Structure 1
Amino acid sequence: MKLKSLFITLLLITNSITAQQITCSAKDKEIFTQKIAQLKKGYTPTADFGKTIVYVGKTFLGTPYVAKTLEIGTKESLVINLQGLDCTTFVENVLAFGLLLKNNKEDFEAYTKYLEKIRYKDGVLNGYASRLHYFSEWIANNQQKGIIKNNTADIGGVEIEKEINFMSTHRDLYPFLKEDKNFEGILQSEKVVSESSFCFLPKEEVKENEESIASGDIIALTTSIKGLDITHTGIATREKDGRIHLLHASSKGQVEISELPLVDYLKKIKNNIGIMISRPQ
């Protein structure tokens, strides 16, 4: 099989006997092997999956922030990129490696299966529109799959209904949407998301509910931007000051822990209206 640029193409055979394309560089495969060895060496089994999530997340500290890492080639594939992460791929990879540790697995095939399950609707890669592009849909679908539990309503969240259409109204920003089939698929996804109300914890109420947020919870920042549900995501971590901070792939340059507690960090985010909180299971 030919090596194209830095990427190699592998085949993943799913339980439904369909072949799914994986895009992964030799360097990323090497990083995976090193990462799982590092994680296994320092991992202590625990019933608190949140601790595992934070443990895994912190091993990515310093990894460069790179936007649009999944927009590769002309056809949707399961992109493995551990050299550069955006906020969503950071969370996805932390979850995938966390599940490997939790279930005592360490092989690359298991990792790709977890990543596919997390990243795509109902866990199956089936074209561009099958990717969970909108993070509120990502949360809902991964809750259905039993990977996370959306705790926002339990923590005091309020329901919101909003028309979600940012991708279709900014078609020129997404190369894959040049194809009408992909565009129609996104329109369908947006219709489903728009018809499904979701809860968010208003920004001004985060401080009084901070004790209900646990280390390892996935934090998603909801927004007032027209047509969009969520602008950023990361992982909650309770640091030495006793406060919840955000462990995330920051667009400022790398995976880091917010210097300010989450409550104060949110105050500096333009258009932020609050957060959604989901707990890995």
Structure 2
Amino acid sequence: MKNYSQIILLIFIVVQITFAQVFSDKDISECKSRFTFAIEKNLSQKPIGDVIAEVGKTFLNTPYEAHTLEVTDTEQLVINFSGLDCTTFLETTFSLARCIKQNKTSFEDFRNELQLIRYRDGKINDYTSRLHYFSDWIYHNTNKGLIKDVTKEIGGKPINFKVNFMSENPHLYKHLKSNPEFVNEIKKQEQEINSRQYHYIPENEIAKVESKIRNGDLIALTTSDKGLDIGHVGIAVKMADGKIHFMHAPMVGSKVQISEDSISGYVKKIKKHTGIIVLRANEI
């Protein structure tokens, strides 16, 4: 009986150490503060797009931090409220908003939502179970019923991606470099993406459809970078000037911010951006 208790204690300690590697007490506190904010503002009664926009604003001035999901040797659910890249900013905000709309406001609720959104079928198996390419993220989260791709209905044009960057450059990815057997699975995922048709709004046509983009829509920026699909992501925010601006975590050395220009102006300023995909969170 004594040995059994010692084994249970050891398992508990190992679990605590594992969890400590992927989130901190500060992350738990930051998560709870967003839920408190939501309750005080009665956000659960607002449309989910407005909830996304309001929660996103609570991250303004949060530092950009690259490679936050690559801190462990095995694939785990990494949470970091103190440093965000463009995708983790979007995922964290979207997860919090979905929790708020469902009146599920514990840290465990948030973790469950984040895992559902970030991973293929919402399950963590290994590195290849994470939705690495954002076009794949769109496809799977649409199939989960979490979002709707409204790009086509607001005037989008067909686009087919030719992704291969990850499989062609495994040395740039910590987990592919240390686990070369994952590369073939990544190749299969790339082939699946390349077989699908998506829609996008070309950069010169964004201004024409701006009135159809809603506050809190999730925005993916298509790119001309070879082997890639999406170069950047963020959140649409309707500002006092009546125009849609872009809330995002832009680059190393910068912080979460809202673009000074409208979204059409922002996209045109960066050469590699070719247009946008507009995603709308489904109401809960």
Q: 1:27, 1:8 → 2: CA distance? A: 16
Q: 2:157, 2:90 → 1: CA distance? A: 24
Aligned to 1:168: 167
Kept after mapping to 2: 8 A contact 1:9/1:24 = no
Kept after mapping to 2: 8 A contact 1:8/1:25 = no
Aligned to 1:120: 119
Question: What TM-score do you get using the length of structure 1 for normalisation?
Answer: 0.91
Kept after mapping to 1: 8 A contact 2:163/2:193 = yes
Q: 2:75, 2:258 → 1: CA distance? A: 31
Higher Rg: 2
SS at match of 2:158: strand
Between structures 1 and 2, the one with greater strand share: 1
Residue 80, structure 1, aligned to residue 79, structure 2 = yes
Q: 1:45 to 1:109 in 2, by over 3 A?
A: closer
Between structures 1 and 2, the one with greater helix share: 2
Unpaired runs of 5+ in structure 2? Answer: 1-11
Q: 2:55, 2:14 → 1: CA distance? A: 30
Aligned to 1:159: 158
- The equivalent position to 2:18 in structure 1, one of 9, 12, 22, is 9
Q: Deviations over 1:109-134 (max 9, x none)?
A: 11111000000011111110111100
In the TM superposition, residue 173 of structure 1 has moved relative to its aligned partner by: 1.0
Kept after mapping to 2: 8 A contact 1:22/1:80 = no
Q: Deviations over 1:171-196 (max 9, x none)?
A: 11101002123222211111111111
Q: 1:45 to 1:106 in 2, by over 3 A?
A: closer
SS at match of 1:187: helix
Q: 2:133, 2:44 → 1: CA distance? A: 33
Kept after mapping to 2: 8 A contact 1:8/1:23 = no
Q: 1:41, 1:164 → 2: CA distance? A: 44
RMSD: 1.8
Q: 2:214, 2:129 → 1: CA distance? A: 30
In the TM superposition, residue 74 of structure 1 has moved relative to its aligned partner by: 0.9
In the TM superposition, residue 68 of structure 1 has moved relative to its aligned partner by: 1.1
Aligned to 1:15: none
Residue 147, structure 1, aligned to residue 156, structure 2 = no
Q: 2:169, 2:183 → 1: CA distance? A: 11
Residue 256, structure 1, aligned to residue 257, structure 2 = yes
Q: Deviations over 1:14-49 (max 9, x none)?
A: xxxxxxx98212222222222322332223333521
Kept after mapping to 2: 8 A contact 1:99/1:114 = yes
Q: 1:247, 1:53 → 2: CA distance? A: 11
Unpaired runs of 5+ in structure 1? Answer: 11-20
Residue 104, structure 1, aligned to residue 103, structure 2 = yes
Aligned to 1:214: 214
Aligned to 1:246: 246
Residue 185, structure 1, aligned to residue 194, structure 2 = no
Question: What TM-score do you get using the length of structure 2 for normalisation?
Answer: 0.90
Q: 1:277, 1:192 → 2: CA distance? A: 21
Q: 1:22 to 1:117 in 2, by over 3 A?
A: farther
Aligned to 1:56: 55
Identity %: 42
Q: 1:229 to 1:74 in 2, by over 3 A?
A: same
SS at match of 2:136: helix
Q: 2:29, 2:86 → 1: CA distance? A: 22
Q: 2:191, 2:181 → 1: CA distance? A: 16
In the TM superposition, residue 92 of structure 1 has moved relative to its aligned partner by: 0.5
SS at match of 1:60: coil
Q: 2:241, 2:21 → 1: CA distance? A: 42
In the TM superposition, residue 147 of structure 1 has moved relative to its aligned partner by: 0.7
Q: 1:185, 1:40 → 2: CA distance? A: 43
Q: 2:275, 2:151 → 1: CA distance? A: 11
SS at match of 1:206: helix
Aligned to 2:279: 278
Question: Number of residues paired by the alignment?
Answer: 269
Kept after mapping to 2: 8 A contact 1:248/1:257 = yes
